[in-house]
Amino acid sequence: MVTDVGHAQRVIRRTRDAETSGGVFTEIGLVTWRSLVKLTRTPVLLFFSLFMPLIWLVMFSQTFGTVFSSAASGGFSGAPLPYDYVAVLLPGITVMTAIQSASQSGFGMVADLESGFMDKFFVAPIRRGSVLAGKLLADGLRMAAQAGIILGIAAILTLFGWRIPFATGVVGAVLITLLAAAFGVAFSGLSNTVALRTKNTESTMMVSFS
């Protein structure tokens, strides 16, 4: 007797979905919570993901910022600059940090695949899409937290006399945070997709270098 494998898989998937008591949002929330708890157990990853961006912020804002401020005030020959250098540098560093960190998100997926942890998800009464959605949500929250930390440190440095202007105020800071989270989720999705398709660390690593 010929068995329709595709139909059998659809039946199993519908049965598994029906047995899920909490619904899709509960599943996503649980996977998100698991990813965040995993991050808190390795805080060194968050530290090193913020270390170099903060170095760039302090170094570039206090060196090139002085040069460009002289140009903006007409100190050099030519027309004054229509913008502030540091006002462009700060959101650029924030978004770049989110993209760089999110591009490495697939490493965790590869580790879960190699350790057999993902096999437990595949046999559990949980939608497979919820696993990826929960991980992306956790990455988005992590990117927003990183952006908030960078902007917060920049604000503290401003209070101590460092030249890091916030021309757009709180609204601009919130928009930068949301933009960093959005870019982070996009690149995290790309990294995790490559990880799921290849199940290979080297291939996933190429996403972070691209």
Structural domain of 117:
24-209
In a domain, 12, yes or no: no
Residue 173 lies in a domain: yes
Identify whether 16 is part of a domain.
no
138 assigned to some structural domain? yes
Read off the tokens for 141: 């929250």
What is the predicted pLDDT for the residue at 197? 86
List the alpha helices (DSSP H) in the chain. 5-19, 24-40, 43-72, 85-103, 106-115, 117-123, 128-159, 169-198, 201-209
Number of structural domains in the chain? 1
pLDDT of residue 114: 85
- The answer to whether residue 1 is domain-embedded is no
pLDDT of residue 69: 58
pTM here? 0.73
Structure confidence at residue 163 (pLDDT): 60
Q: Write out residues in the chain with pLDDT < 70, as ranges.
A: 1-22, 61-86, 160-168, 208-210
Is-contact 160 189, C-beta < 8 A?
no
In angstroms, the CA 82 to CA 126 distance is: 53
**Is 165:84 a contact under the CB 8 Å cutoff?**
yes
Q: Which of 21, 48, 30 is nearest to 131 (CA)?
A: 30
2 within some domain: no
CA dihedral 63, 167, 79, 60 (to 10 degrees): 10
Residue-wise pLDDT tens digits, 8-42: 455 445 545 545 555 788 888 888 888 888 888 87
| 152 found inside a domain | yes
Residue 5 lies in a domain: no
At residue 137, the pLDDT reads 92
